[in-house]
Amino acid sequence: MVGLLDRRLVFVTGKGGVGKTTVAAALALFASEHGRRTLLCEVDAKGDVASFLETGPTAFTAGEALPGLWAMSMDTEASLREYLRLNLRIPVVGRIGPLAKAFDFVATAAPGVREILTVGKLCFEVRERHYDLVVVDAPATGHIIGQLAAPQAINELVKVGLIRSQTDWMLDILSDPEQTAVAIVTTPEEMPVNETIELVERVRQETTVELASVIVNRVLPELFGRSEEEVFDRLGGDAATEELTRLAGDDPAPVLTAARLAVTLRRTNAGHLERLRAAVDPTVPMLYLPFLFARFHGLRTIRQVASSLGEELGF
């Protein structure tokens, strides 16, 4: 299987709240630090990429956020304008009246139009070789299939016309595992794992894009091994607690309770991870990123995640 960094287009998706944007930004950062001219594209323009990279707001026109790392946010209307300008040689504004309104209408009426303009722009950047790698902070689980399958859907709906003639080369790029892949981010929790298992199956059945890896984010560290856990249990006994109170100068209860919480959480998570591993094709690599004990998240955490990701990718 081709390494994640050796592709040209990587979609990073996952259930809302699992750290999809963090992982996408970390992957892009890591790639740029390893000699790839990288474009990071935020599809749901929420501004998270800008805040994580601690740059100014991103726009449709990519800007170099860090050395070798460009960032952009998707804007389907801007994508349409660019497309018209490049392909139809239509001086857009003025000639076709209120483009914004017309676009809004067509995009609302015709399913897949927004998606095709998004995927189209991304494939275009790949085809034109503007970058070595395009990392997409893709839509969440519920929408990614629609996006990845948009060219096929359009092919079914639109029998002729310019869009139809465009979907073929996009499909070529999307369906080529040497070039394109999707990575699913999850956390070791019940709902994210459930959704990931479902999504893995849907990617396989409903799209032509290869699943490159499942990235498990926020994996809690293991506090102790089995025999150490026995020792820990005995430290919680009355006599030992009294002794610890004397030696440490105060009641150790909060500290011991916190350790018990950590052990239980880790154990619950381990159960979900086992379920995930059993459900995902064993040839699909799973990468594990540690939980970051940090107060706030910004570029510093992205760098930490990038370095963990690098280790997992074998760098």
* Subset of residues 99 to 128 that bind other proteins, contact rule: CB under 8 A: 101-102, 105-106, 108-112
Q: How far is the CB of 238 from other proteins (least distance, A)?
A: 10
Assigned token pair, 307: 């370095």
Assigned token pair, 235: 């430290």
Assigned token pair, 290: 């540690």
Question: Given candidates 34, 37, 127, 164, which one binds other proteins under the rule CB under 8 A?
Answer: 164
Q: Looking at residues 68 to 87 of the shown chain, list those that interact with other proteins (rule: CB under 8 A).
A: 84
Cα maximum dimension of the chain: 86
Q: Looking at residues 235 to 274 of the shown chain, list those that interact with other proteins (rule: CB under 8 A).
A: 235-236, 239-241, 243-244, 247-262, 264-265, 268
Binding range to other proteins, per CB under 8 A, among 29-37, 57-65, 92-100, 199-207: 92-100
CA 307 – CA 312 distance, rounded (Å): 9
Instruction: Look at residues 114, 51, 26, 52 and name the one whose alpha carbon lies nearest to residue 77.
Output: 114
Binding range to other proteins, per CB under 8 A, among 23-31, 152-160, 202-210, 281-289: 152-160
Question: Given candidates 224, 274, 300, 311, which one binds other proteins under the rule CB under 8 A?
Answer: 224
Q: How far is the CB of 177 from other proteins (least distance, A)?
A: 26
Q: Is 226 in the site for other proteins (CB under 8 A)?
A: no
Q: Is 91 in the site for other proteins (CB under 8 A)?
A: no
Type of residue numbered 145: I
Q: Looking at residues 26 to 45 of the shown chain, list those that interact with other proteins (rule: CB under 8 A).
A: 44
Instruction: Look at residues 62, 72, 68, 61 and name the one whose alpha carbon lies nearest to residue 5.
Output: 68
Q: Looking at residues 289 to 308 of the shown chain, list those that interact with other proteins (rule: CB under 8 A).
A: 293-297
Q: Is 162 in the site for other proteins (CB under 8 A)?
A: yes
Spell out a b/e string for 90-106, using b for 16 or more CB atoms within 10 Å of the CB, else e.
eeeeeeeeebeeebeee
Q: How far is the CB of 196 from other proteins (least distance, A)?
A: 12
CA 233 – CA 187 distance, rounded (Å): 28
Q: Which is nearer to other proteins, 2 or 84 (CB)?
A: 84
Binding range to other proteins, per CB under 8 A, among 25-33, 67-75, 124-132, 186-194: 186-194
Q: How far is the CB of 248 from other proteins (least distance, A)?
A: 4
CA pseudo-torsion sign 63, 66, 67, 73: negative
| Helix, strand, coil % in the chain, rounded to nearest 5 | 55, 15, 30
